[in-house]
Amino acid sequence: MHLTSFKIENYRKFGSRRNTIFFVEPNAIRPEDEKVDATSDVAASTTLIIGKNNSGKTTIANALKLICDNRQPRAADFNISYIKNLLDSYKNSNFNVENLPELSFTLVAHIETGSNDLIANLDEFVTIENSENPQKEVEISVKIVISESLAYLEAVQKLINFYNEKKLEESKLLSMFESLLNQESDFFDFETHKKNLFKTKLLNSYGQESKKFQFKDLINLREIKANRHLKDDVLTEVFNKIIKFQFDNDKESKDKLSEEIEKVNDNLTQTVNGKNKNVSKVLREIENTNKVDLGLTGNVTYERIVKGLIKYNFSDDEDLIPEEQFGLGYVNLLNIIGEIIHYIDSYKSGSQNSRINLLFIEEPEAFMHPQMQEFFIKRIDAAVQRALEIANENSDEKKSLNCQIIITTHSSHIVNSKIHSSKSFNNINYLSTKERKVSSIKLNDRIIKNRGQQFSFSSDDLVFLQKHIKYKVSEIFFADAVVFVEGATEEALLKFYIDNDRDLRNNYICIFNINGAHAHVYFPLVRTLKIPTLVITDIDIKRRACEIGQRHKSNNRDCDLCGHKKGASDNNSHDYKQVSSLQGRETTNNTIKTFNQDEESLDNIKYYERKNFKVVFQCSNIHGYYATSLEEAFILTNYDNLIVNSSLESIKPKIYSDILGEARDKKSIIHSSYKLQSKLARDKNEFTSEILYRSIVQGIDKAPKLPDYIMDGFKWLKEKLTP
């Protein structure tokens, strides 16, 4: 039996939309190169829940615990926006029984073909359509509702009347309402009603309530919490639990240990027994009776032996060293492994037949360096399998573990390793927060491929994305916004300008250089994640040979620009031509062609924008000319800027001097911008470095201005990042 999905409604940061978490699919398989027995019952893969800090990752396990423990919710368990909307309705005198606070959860479980799942107690949740199907979908709806609606509404009405009479502030009203939900309010007579404020109802897909089913009988949940404050003896603590459990379940070894403890106590008693006489003599001087005496005996117990008298050392090559000498990352890794071993040891054989077994590992990356994080996620399934094998070596009753592993993380290295090693985006839930509500996005290969249809996204593109994710792109998952550029110049310069922008610098903006013809490969991913994404690319105007200082080849077509005839030799001297109109022009840029429906024409071309996605390029003229690249746009925009001129003169002194002429007129740069950028083709990095160095030293006030198309992109980005 597997947990397929879990829907969370109005609980903490989860609202009423995009609130479903999807777990490992029943038919998922391991990568072919994974050296683990594919027939084992260990979870076929790991479900990853990723998101930035405070995005709701831990909330998922907390929600499952809430309904498993049948606990009364607190005010803090309700989504704050939901509570405020509910309170506003009460202020408008909407006191009806349909307007009550409620938490809702929907669990969908899958029962596999040929399994031994004991599901007799789940029959009432199986739909008629699935009753004869060997692979059953079981849906259970859990609603936590007000137990006495009329008494509750009466209390709320009193609260609102008090608020109106006293003319209290909104914050005070909210505080009083939260006290009511916490069952601590004077407006509700809890003594008279003698009931909890909330009750839990379990419903099947037809809305029929179950009276006998207990949710805790279905879910076996174990958490390995993030160790943010590791104690010195954390390993001793966890391995104490393992040793104690193993002794408790090995009668022969425990009996032998008990015999040894008894011998130790006898020897201790004999050794210390004579030491009581002197103390007894002194006591009798105070109380000369036989009532006061002293007896000394050994008091070694099984619990003390296991918990306090066994010293744990760990191997470091050939040496045994105490845990105090380990670094925090290694201690955390050992602690997680120890908890997994204890989980396997304490797992009751046969319990998998009737329960969903979930092992939540929270943020395992704490204190671990990147290589250790990647290693951990690659081998977690194998570690569970090995722990199971060891548990079965010393047991007559063989265990068969059916356990789903769920890892919550905000580590890009763990995301890297998960996608790269499994060669798939499957079984990943991406959580983001907008307007204080969680948005849960399911990732898998099929979704990304379908999203890519409008971008001519192929199976090869998906393979490329799965493999290239290793090199940096996984940071996208934790970014506030993403900027894709197609050159080292853009990447270096834009980081400087973003860091000096008072609005943008307060956000985590990732800049990725995706130079080449495959930029469109990333678009389906960012569209799926709904992260604001700005693509800054070059218009890359297609030019004829005579426009770039070259001669026409004899087999070329007739040229209406220079008069060259097809088939004739070209002995003319050609110079670099400025472009003053895009009409009739074409682009060589694959990104632009992708969003221009594979059309090369630049006639009436505009920026591409759709929801969280925008592509900008040089579609407007600068001082009458269209720049084909960032370098040219930079030069045209800043033809009179001291830093740009100094950089050009430093790198291309002769060309710079020839262009300015004896008059040293900087406006000459405007009419030779394309020639300058062409001559800089092999020196782009040096040109960028010069501008960057001088801008950092002299300050942002003297730095060159960004071209308008980039500023347009930044303006859009700021709008998307504004709450």
670-711, pLDDT tens digit by residue?
999 999 999 998 898 899 899 999 999 999 999 999 999 999
pLDDT band at 287; cut points 50, 70, 90: low
As a whole-number percent, the residues of the chain with pLDDT over 90 amount to: 38
CB 372 within 8 A of CB 416: no
Would you say residue 39 has pLDDT above 50?
A: no
- What gap in Å lies between CA 548 and CA 674, rounded to an integer? 9
Would you say residue 326 has pLDDT above 90?
A: no
Mean pLDDT is lowest, of 153-157, 393-397, 424-428, for 393-397
Looking at every residue in the chain, the average pLDDT score rounds to: 82
pLDDT of residue 26: 46
Token reading at 666: 């900087």
CB 303 within 8 A of CB 247: no
Q: What angle do CA 37, 471, 482 make, to 5 degrees?
A: 120
* β-bridge partners, 106: 7, 141
Q: Where would I find the H helices in 274-369?
A: 276-286, 302-308, 328-345
Mean pLDDT of the 607-625 span: 93
- What gap in Å lies between CA 605 and CA 581, rounded to an integer? 12
pLDDT band at 431; cut points 50, 70, 90: very high
Mean pLDDT of the 523-529 span: 88
CB 84 within 8 A of CB 174: yes
Q: What angle do CA 674, 679, 681 make, to 5 degrees?
A: 95
Q: What is the DSSP letter of 27?
A: T
Q: What angle do CA 508, 513, 516 make, to 5 degrees?
A: 150
Q: Where would I find the H helices in 194-349?
A: 234-248, 251-273, 276-286, 302-308, 328-345
Would you say residue 512 has pLDDT above 80?
A: yes
Chain center to CA of 673: 45
- What gap in Å lies between CA 361 and CA 340, rounded to an integer? 9
CB atoms under 10 Å from CB of 37, counted, come to 12
pLDDT of residue 376: 77
pLDDT of residue 32: 37
Helix (H) / strand (E) containing 108: strand 103-111
pLDDT of residue 228: 61
Selected residue with higher pLDDT from 234 and 474: 474
pLDDT of residue 324: 62
Q: What is the DSSP letter of 483?
A: E
pLDDT of residue 416: 83
- The highest-confidence range among 180-189, 284-293, 371-380, 395-404, by mean pLDDT, is 180-189
CB 457 within 8 A of CB 449: yes
- What gap in Å lies between CA 154 and CA 48, rounded to an integer? 45
Selected residue with higher pLDDT from 678 and 402: 678
For the CA atoms of the chain, what is the radius of gyration? 35
Q: Where would I find the H helices in 287-411?
A: 302-308, 328-345, 370-393
Mean pLDDT is lowest, of 72-81, 91-100, 216-225, 551-560, for 551-560
pLDDT of residue 392: 73
pLDDT of residue 550: 86
Would you say residue 353 has pLDDT above 60?
A: no
- What gap in Å lies between CA 631 and CA 486, rounded to an integer? 12
Token reading at 457: 């996204």
pLDDT of residue 206: 78
Cβ density class 252-275: b for 16+ within 10 Å, e for less:
eeeeeeeeebeeeeeeeeeeeeee
* β-bridge partners, 168: none
Chain center to CA of 161: 45
Would you say residue 615 has pLDDT above 60?
A: yes
pLDDT of residue 112: 66
- What gap in Å lies between CA 489 and CA 630, rounded to an integer? 8
What pTM, to 2 d.p., does this model score?
0.79
Would you say residue 134 has pLDDT above 60?
A: no
- What gap in Å lies between CA 89 and CA 20, rounded to an integer? 27
- The highest-confidence range among 308-322, 454-468, 672-686, by mean pLDDT, is 672-686
Locate the domains of the chain by residue range: 2-29+54-224, 480-543+579-721
Chain center to CA of 296: 60
pLDDT band at 655; cut points 50, 70, 90: very high
pLDDT of residue 601: 94
Cβ density class 662-671: b for 16+ within 10 Å, e for less:
eeeeeeebbe
- What gap in Å lies between CA 219 and CA 103, rounded to an integer? 19
Mean pLDDT of the 126-133 span: 62
pLDDT of residue 332: 74
Selected residue with higher pLDDT from 468 and 70: 70
Mean pLDDT of the 130-148 span: 79
Virtual CA dihedral for 443, 447, 451, 456, nearest 10 degrees? Answer: 120
CB 48 within 8 A of CB 210: no
pLDDT of residue 275: 66
SS (H, E, C) 613-642: EEEECCCCCECCECCCCHHHHHHHHCCCCH
Selection from 624, 599, 424, 452 nearest residue 522 by Cα: 452
> Tokens 């099929």 label which residue?
446
Selected residue with higher pLDDT from 466 and 706: 706
